[in-house]
Structure 1
Amino acid sequence: MHVKVLALSGAALIALGAPLAAQTAKPVPAATLVNQVNIPYQQFTLPNGLRVIVHTDRKAPIVAVSVWYDVGAKHEPKGSTGFAHLFEHLMFNGSENAPGDFFEPLKQVGATDFNGTTNLDRTNYFETVPTAGLERALFLESDRMGYLLGAITQAKLDEQRGVVQNEKRQGDNQPYGLTRYKVTEGLFPADHPYGHDTIGSMADLDAASLDTVKNWFRNHYGPNNAVLVLAGDIDVATAKPLVEKYFGAIKAGPETVTRPAPVPTLPAPKAETIKDRVAAVMVSRYWAIPGGDHPDAAALDVAGAVLGGLASSRLDNALVKKEKLAVNVSAYASTGAQVGTFGIRAIVRPGVDPALVGRRIDAILADFLKNGPTADEVNRVVTTQAAATIRGLESVGGFGGKAVALAQGALFYGDPGFYKKELAVLAAQTPASVKAAANRWLTRPVYALTVEQGPRGAYEEAKVPPRADVAPAAETPVKGTRGPIPALGKVKGLSFPAVQRTTLRNGIELVYAQRSAVPVTQVALSFDAGTAADVADKLGTQGLTLAMLDEGAAGLDSIQIAEAKERLGASIGSGSSADRTTMNLQVPSANLAPALDLFAKIAREPTFSETELARVKQQALAGIAQELTNPSGLVGRVVPPLVYGPAYPYAKAQGGGDPKAVAALTRADLLAFQQAWLRPDKAKLFVVSDRPLAEVKAALDTEFGDWRGTGQAGIKDFSVGMSPAQPKILLVDRPDSPQSMIVGAIPTGLKGTEDLLPVNTANDALGGGFLSRINMDLRETRHWSYGARGGFQTAAEAAPYLISAPVQADKTGPALASAREDVVAFLGKEPMTQEEFDRAINGGINSLPGDYETSDAVLGAMQYNDLLKRPDDYQTTLAARYRGMTRDQLNGAIRSALDPKRTIWVVVGDAKQVRPQLDGLGLAVETVSAASVAGAAAAAPAAAAK
């Protein structure tokens, strides 16, 4: 299965809308959920071959525009790997009639979810725009389809080649980041369409010439090789004349030829081992499998979930929970249009023989192949996937909305409704069908890959440096003749749901909003705790407590809890921000009553079993070890004590915590934390549901209304005050890193409970979006990064400013200097311009309907408003507030907030290559090892906490 986010028809809302009072503990059958999924659509084809699909959804005044091209990495000939993805980038750099960056005119109309992606099978571009901005979006998409080549210059090619090569470095720089290449090489012959990765090779990207790239476009990007989907506040009568107006004159091009892609079978089992700077050994198994339209695709999807996709999967139950041989395990079937991959991965518990883990994987798989899954396992997979589909129903576009489902079916299989067939086949699976499919494909010779700890092998780097000069006169872009970009019509305002407040009978406040677009209820049980409440001399206590909540509760063990969630299609999890600790429930509303019963058991009656604690503690320690091999993980551990001062409560946010403290935690420690912080008098309930408030409140009162706290509640103490570090550069040595992660932390005197809208709006131009100065400098102008940004990290009591820029290793020093210059100039002689101001204001106003399209967004806004003491209707006031701003006001606000001289820089990279670049930047440079970072939490002074 590869369509996971679909939609319900209006009829489905009624079919799944039984009152809570009528619900029983018995879950709604999985087939009932699956049968309700429906995306009504109409379609037409232009004379030039462009296929157009229209889906009407009037819940918000927005339209998703999604263009899918029948060109992906599988169409690339030898020597041209990465070309499809490279061209995806080039198509954002302006066209003949829309010169300049593609994001500028979209930002002005308030586009949301705008991006592009490439995979082995296709390239897509998408944006969700206010209905009044649809003509502009269609003009832009049609211009890069039909009028692009005249705008592509050698300078633009060099620029985007550099960006793509940094995207490759960024992925490769992650732990286990080179695995994907080995798996592809291990399963597929080099000349197979799926025999290379989408990102391509450095050498092929180096070799891309302007003529070759332009010919690639001519051969693949015609309207007859594309599908256009419009989903949202649109109908076919309105859409057809607009599509004809903007796309009708584009001439058809050559038809893309899709080469045969048979599923390869290895002649014999193959095993390889590579080394990487990782915290633990990874053992894995892989097979090539058929694509999404094969009769066995759904059965293999079920097999992957039963083996290692469910929370109660066989591999997880055996290797992680019972035998404690691994700290993490997964299995999956990933299907493309023609071919896919079935994979099993296990992260070996430190001290365990990897060969033993491999043998146990093979034995569990052999048992599955012999006996197949149970009927209950199959049902739990179908229910889980159907519920996940329903939970994502509201989005019309983006990476996985309704437009995606329609476009994918149309492009790959000639049927926009193919998603419905997939779900029907999924629901029809039986233990026998899953067993048969698994035996057909997983008894073939396996490719086994082991990743061991050690220095990485030689890394393939780019040989041709990006050109620094401007395009010569001969490359002057062609001036278009289609006229100006369409103006924006009148944008309808945001319709934010009314927020209501009431209390349960024990005083827990319930904050509620009704959204009826989908039959889903989302609950956030939010406690006044957060990482600021972690135990000062036992950092990691909160994280381990949360990890243990669903490992046993009210007489149920971890496996029984996982199975119960799966039967209900419920997602139950937990997490924390600086200020709040939250337990979350998402469930089809038809199963709300039994799901709330389970949710309450987990929240109120965790057992903190000693047996489970020993295992979960080992997993937590393994997670900390993984953080110390990951650039982002290292940054997350180092920055908080530097920017806040080690004794401030927010400085406790150091990844998984202090490993020595975590290793020593006891059941009593966790129980004490839970009783002090995860208690009813520190709780609020936030709910977005299609159910009326009275029904939801009654159900919550049944489960939580009699809850009483035990003992003394915890208290957070911010009186210690912040004491940030002096400006310096802290270099964390991470050998063999093809990229460096640069973070600049600027302490401020701001609090999140203040009005930060002016500084956040000003920051749109400095670091807040794609078009910000920091990103445009390091990515588009210098092409040293795949993306850089800066923003205020808002918590109730603080809001420091963080710059984040992963850059190629050999440009670390110049990149840090350039980012520093960008900030200094913005706060000094080169403040926000009128153009930047207009873009920020227009984008802020016009994007509001798209920003709050989904219940997820509404639920998040409700919690954020409550935390920062904003009114419940805060979002409805934003348009007027934006209109009242002035450029001088914004420049003054951000100048008052930021002092660039206070910046503390953290660089994670290969010290032997990076340190010489940093020594001449005028700041003291301190080098530390990644291993030493683990002890930072233990060395920090204890903050006041009671």
Structure 2
Amino acid sequence: MVRKLTLALAASTIALSGAAMAKTTPAPVADLVKTVDIPYEKFTLDNGLTVIVHEDRKAPVVAVSIWYGVGSKHEPKGQTGFAHLFEHIMFNGSENAPGDYFQYTKQIGATDLNGTTWLDRTNYFQTVPTSALESALFLESDRMGHLLGGLTEESVKTQIGVVSNEKRQGDNQPYGLVEYAQSENLFPVGHPYHHNTIGSLEDLAAAKLDDFKQWFKDYYGPNNSVLVLAGDVNAAQAKPLVEKWFGDVARGRDVPPVNAPIPTLDAPKKIVLKDKVPATRIYRNWIVPGLADPDYTALRAGASVLGGLASSRLDNILVREEQSAVSVSSFILPFVHGSLFWVQADVKPGGDADAVAKRLDDIMADFIAKGPTADEVQRVAASEAAGRIDGLEQVGGFGGKAVALAEGQLYTGDADYYKKELERLAALKPETISAAMQKWLTRPVLEIRVEPGEREAYKEVASGSGARTGGLTAPAFYMAPGSDGHATSAVKADRSKMPAPGATPALDFPTVETGKLKNGIKVHFARRNAVPAVRIAVSFDAGYAADPIDKRGVSNIMGNLLSEGTLTLNATQLAETEERLGADINVTSSQDRTVASLRAVKPNLAASIGLLADVVKNPAFAEKDLERVRVQQLTRIAGEKNQPQGLALRALPELIYGKAHPYGGSQTGTGDEAAVRTLTRADVASFHQSWIHPAKAEIFVVGDTSLKEITKLLNKQFGSWKPKATAAPAKNFAVAMPESKARIVLIDRPNSPQSFILGGKVLDAKGSDDLLPLRSANEIFGGDFTSRINMDLRETKGWSYGVRSQVGGNEDRVPFLIFAPVQTNQTGPSLGVLLSQARDFVTSKPITKEERDTTVVSNVLELPGSYEQSAAVLGQMRADALFKRPFDYAEKLAGKYSALTPESMTAEFKSKIDPEKMAWVVVGDAAKVKPQLEALGLPVEMQSEAAKPTDTNAN
């Protein structure tokens, strides 16, 4: 049985709007917090492995999450970067599962698959069909107990190359060097947090294979680990399997506890950096207590009030009222031995950074001295509780139930720690927050200022090369695990082959019911009741493609302004009301759609829908808000012109679609700088009246309600909606596009640590066509981690942190795109590899039966885990509507995949994608990469994209 979260809470069902909405009494936060519950059973093996099992039968999947008590804090001088490198290495195969880890996980239908390293821990996780649980336990236990036999000089060398490109990729971003300054200046030499997690590549290159083997023996034993299984399993079912596969893994050494007191600077410290950035950014940083300290909860809440909420103090004063900053934020990065309190403000381009810095300090000093109001504390708690309830729907991934249990056990020895944290949050008083801030934020501060300018010359890092191995990383979050439960005996398992997964049930996609509002708007509904929450998407046939050519960026401006106030609620009142309700309202645009979305807790659903309707139907479009949002958008455009991928995404669409085509503008949606600078309130209001229109609307709902109930609530708010103008005509896609031809456009970005390659071609296909065969073929070419181009450029050659290709998801003509960030000295050869791989794919090296089988099996087995969350169901419903498919399309996917053949997949790729007619944009240091590109024999055109602060003043 699914243990449904229930809320015995009274909530008004009276539809409210405007000023009355701000006075709505939401469900008490304390009651919301009480419902957050993840029951579990725990046992410990003889070798010290702590195992936690949470039963959740809503879907036939199990999250398998293993957390090791080792992070970069354990690295001594001369071995920095070891923990992060091993995160890569442990995806490279073990003694009984040689080769890439992902070749096995594809066979068992794993989803939400990743591994991460940070200061205090390393973790690995995947969600698998229930029938593949034993397969996953075999894989995880083999790399815990049987890794070293598969570790070679060549595999280590290759992954050092991958890590070096990961470092380049991060360093190449605007503000990408700040983290180094923070760790090196906030933590003294000798403190375990003094160095960045990616570590020193020189240390890695100098280490011997025996050094790496000893590191693994010291830290990756079962007694320094927590295994969490969450999902369609209970402890009685899990225990024999865990004993079988982990029971014979030898206990490791006892890892001594790290002693690291919270450091305090002797005096305030100021650092000024130069970088290719759109705006001066001001940082304020302190080290505050670790995540298990009671003061941490108070400081986290204080950070939210200061700069985390949409209605935060810094947002209200610096961004909305005084408009001296374009964005602000405040938050805490939680660690065990001291957390990082982080405040930042981006100065309005052309503004007085010194004046903003002083004002920032004055606001903070006043806040620290006087503290928050009771209402601010309530809004923080409500928002946090609502977010946690939403997260309970997922068993694994980056933030599901397995993560909550594992973090608590590893960091504090208490898997229930998430409850204590939420209870503290719900019980917080303003004076508690004031006391914590006065205690910790009156100490000397680290101020970092990043100003627009040229960086110092980049210090090149070493690169690796070698045989194909594997790896996957992404940052996410530790303390020695406790030990209790029942002792077990080791059972010798047969590791000669991976246990084959059993049969997986066919996907049962939720039934989608369709109704209509009084004014004809269609409502599509799917019931999901695992958590007391509802998601709503009011989708409009608009998006970037609806922007007039001379007003590109207007849809983005309009969408941002919808969240900046209605006729009766200003931006601050709107944000405050949303926070009190624990609701999350966003307006976003893609190429083809503009969507106003809502995530609401069930007790506050009626009021939350009222607020959503007010946002959609009654925008104020105040002139002062328009000017502020305009500056923010111009700053984002300037940021894109300083960021490699942003530059490429702005340049490519015009090359392949042509400027006059609806898809010919920047793929980021921010629009053209000149157009954004001159947009008027009348332009924005006209776009809203013509496109945010009942005739262009469709509503999608997933959650704990019914079609009858949700239709009644939606009718009260949207059913009588009468537009002020006629709907805009359909977008004109019948625009001639440029002839497809091979060309390279090189955008000079001097002193870049890396080059960014973006290739593209418009296909003779629309989103409503059956693109499954083409997308399946592309998985093999470049759409999956184990794809040909990624394994070649990342795993064989070590020239990139990761490359990929994709078939676009546009309603009309779709593009084929290739993304490849590569090291500078291999830019030309990397593009040559991409071209060669594409040519071979459609000629001498077509798709093999093994590739086809792996792709088909993987996609079919992944289906049950793909729709675990309501958000995924909602996304599928919206995609089905956009591409004119039936709502049971997902249930037909298994059959569609099974019908594929190697020949049909290759033929589909060949018929749609001609590598000889692709256009390429390369962003990099032209002095270094142009000769490499010219050696390819393709025409190379230089394009200068000014990397300078944008004039944010309207004409």
Instruction: Please state which band the TM-score falls in when normalised by the shorter chain.
Output: over 0.9
Equivalent position of 1:679 in the other structure: 693
Distance (Å, rounded) in 2 between the aligned partners of 1:934 and 1:53: 52
Deviation at 1:258, TM superposition (A): 2.8
CA contact (8 A) 1:63 1:131 kept: yes
5+ residue gaps, structure 2, are 470-492, 951-955
Equivalent position of 2:915 in the other structure: 900
What amino acid does structure 1 have at the position aligned with 2:723?
Answer: G
Deviation at 1:9, TM superposition (A): 8.7
TM-score by length of structure 1 reads: 0.95
Alignment partner of 1:661 out of 672, 675, 678:
675
Mapped pair 1:886 → 2:901? yes
SS at match of 1:511: strand
Deviation at 1:733, TM superposition (A): 1.1
CA contact (8 A) 1:530 1:576 kept: yes
What amino acid does structure 1 have at the position aligned with 2:121?
Answer: R
CA contact (8 A) 2:458 2:752 kept: no
Cα distance change on mapping 1:17 and 1:53 into 2, 3 Å: farther
SS at match of 1:650: coil
CA contact (8 A) 2:169 2:801 kept: yes
TM alignment of 1:252-401, pairs within 5 A: 252-401=251-400
CA contact (8 A) 2:10 2:27 kept: no
Deviation at 1:604, TM superposition (A): 0.3
Deviation at 1:725, TM superposition (A): 5.1
What amino acid does structure 2 have at the position aligned with 1:559?
Answer: T
Mapped pair 1:29 → 2:28? yes
Distance (Å, rounded) in 1 between the aligned partners of 2:692 and 2:534: 22
Cα distance change on mapping 1:358 and 1:28 into 2, 3 Å: same
SS at match of 2:880: helix
Deviation at 1:126, TM superposition (A): 0.5
Equivalent position of 1:408 in the other structure: 407
SS at match of 2:6: helix
SS at match of 2:497: coil
Distance (Å, rounded) in 1 between the aligned partners of 2:189 and 2:347: 31
Mapped pair 1:554 → 2:567? yes
CA contact (8 A) 2:740 2:761 kept: no
Distance (Å, rounded) in 2 between the aligned partners of 1:502 and 1:653: 36
Alignment partner of 2:835 out of 804, 820, 824:
820
SS at match of 1:198: coil
Distance (Å, rounded) in 2 between the aligned partners of 1:858 and 1:468: 42
What amino acid does structure 2 have at the position aligned with 1:214?
Answer: K
Mapped pair 1:845 → 2:843? no
Alignment partner of 1:744 out of 745, 748, 759:
759
Alignment partner of 2:550 out of 531, 537, 541:
537
Equivalent position of 1:786 in the other structure: 801
Q: 1:423-455 CA deviation, whole Å, 9 max, x = no partner? A: 111111110000000011000000101111111
Equivalent position of 1:913 in the other structure: 928
Q: 1:450-480 CA deviation, whole Å, 9 max, x = no partner? A: 11111111323224x4244799xxxxxxxx9
Alignment partner of 2:941 out of 895, 901, 926:
926
CA contact (8 A) 2:289 2:295 kept: yes
Distance (Å, rounded) in 2 between the aligned partners of 1:189 and 1:891: 57
Deviation at 1:206, TM superposition (A): 2.0
Distance (Å, rounded) in 1 between the aligned partners of 2:137 and 2:555: 49
Distance (Å, rounded) in 1 between the aligned partners of 2:351 and 2:651: 30
Distance (Å, rounded) in 1 between the aligned partners of 2:81 and 2:947: 39
What amino acid does structure 2 have at the position aligned with 1:200?
Answer: G
SS at match of 1:243: helix
Mapped pair 1:10 → 2:33? no
CA contact (8 A) 2:228 2:405 kept: yes
SS at match of 1:390: helix
Alignment partner of 1:693 out of 704, 707, 731:
707
CA contact (8 A) 2:15 2:607 kept: no
Distance (Å, rounded) in 2 between the aligned partners of 1:62 and 1:708: 45
SS at match of 2:639: helix
CA contact (8 A) 1:9 1:36 kept: no
Cα distance change on mapping 1:164 and 1:114 into 2, 3 Å: same
Distance (Å, rounded) in 1 between the aligned partners of 2:187 and 2:129: 44
TM alignment of 1:700-849, pairs within 5 A: 700-715=714-729, 716-724=731-739, 726-849=741-864
SS at match of 2:814: coil
Cα distance change on mapping 1:542 and 1:83 into 2, 3 Å: same
Equivalent position of 2:521 in the other structure: 508
SS at match of 1:537: helix
TM alignment of 1:198-277, pairs within 5 A: 198-277=197-276
Equivalent position of 2:593 in the other structure: 580
Cα distance change on mapping 1:462 and 1:449 into 2, 3 Å: same
Alignment partner of 2:613 out of 586, 600, 603:
600
Equivalent position of 1:448 in the other structure: 447
Equivalent position of 2:125 in the other structure: 126
Q: 1:696-742 CA deviation, whole Å, 9 max, x = no partner? A: 00000000000012223212111113325532001111122111111
Distance (Å, rounded) in 2 between the aligned partners of 1:568 and 1:751: 41
Deviation at 1:11, TM superposition (A): 5.6
Distance (Å, rounded) in 2 between the aligned partners of 1:469 and 1:369: 56
Deviation at 1:61, TM superposition (A): 0.3
Distance (Å, rounded) in 2 between the aligned partners of 1:436 and 1:101: 52
- State the identity %: 51
Q: 1:627-658 CA deviation, whole Å, 9 max, x = no partner? A: 11011211221111112122211113453111
SS at match of 1:688: strand
CA contact (8 A) 1:38 1:420 kept: yes
Equivalent position of 2:483 in the other structure: none
Distance (Å, rounded) in 2 between the aligned partners of 1:667 and 1:678: 16
Segment of structure 1 superposing worse, 924-933 or 341-350: 924-933
What amino acid does structure 1 have at the position aligned with 2:282?
Answer: V
Q: 1:171-199 CA deviation, whole Å, 9 max, x = no partner? A: 11110000000011110012101111111
CA contact (8 A) 1:504 1:701 kept: yes
Deviation at 1:151, TM superposition (A): 0.2
Cα distance change on mapping 1:688 and 1:210 into 2, 3 Å: same
Alignment partner of 2:654 out of 621, 641, 645:
641
SS at match of 1:921: coil
SS at match of 1:847: helix
Equivalent position of 2:482 in the other structure: none
Equivalent position of 2:481 in the other structure: none
Q: 1:308-333 CA deviation, whole Å, 9 max, x = no partner? A: 00001001111111111110111112
Equivalent position of 1:466 in the other structure: 464
Cα distance change on mapping 1:220 and 1:441 into 2, 3 Å: same
Equivalent position of 2:158 in the other structure: 159
CA contact (8 A) 2:349 2:949 kept: no
SS at match of 1:930: coil
TM alignment of 1:416-495, pairs within 5 A: 416-463=415-462, 465-468=463-466, 482-495=495-508
Q: 1:25-77 CA deviation, whole Å, 9 max, x = no partner? A: 42111111111100000000000000000000000000000010010000000
Moved over 6 A (4+): 21-24, 932-935
CA contact (8 A) 1:738 1:809 kept: yes
Distance (Å, rounded) in 2 between the aligned partners of 1:533 and 1:117: 40
Distance (Å, rounded) in 2 between the aligned partners of 1:258 and 1:740: 42
What amino acid does structure 2 have at the position aligned with 1:768?
Answer: G
What amino acid does structure 2 have at the position aligned with 1:771?
Answer: T
What amino acid does structure 1 have at the position aligned with 2:771?
Answer: L
CA contact (8 A) 1:372 1:431 kept: yes
What amino acid does structure 1 have at the position aligned with 2:8?
Answer: A
Distance (Å, rounded) in 2 between the aligned partners of 1:335 and 1:650: 42
Cα distance change on mapping 1:19 and 1:597 into 2, 3 Å: closer
TM-score by length of structure 2 reads: 0.94
Cα distance change on mapping 1:362 and 1:733 into 2, 3 Å: same
In the alignment of these two chains, the number of paired residues is 919
Distance (Å, rounded) in 2 between the aligned partners of 1:18 and 1:208: 62
Q: 1:108-147 CA deviation, whole Å, 9 max, x = no partner? A: 1110011100000000011100001111100000000000
What amino acid does structure 2 have at the position aligned with 1:876?
Answer: E
Distance (Å, rounded) in 1 between the aligned partners of 2:573 and 2:555: 24
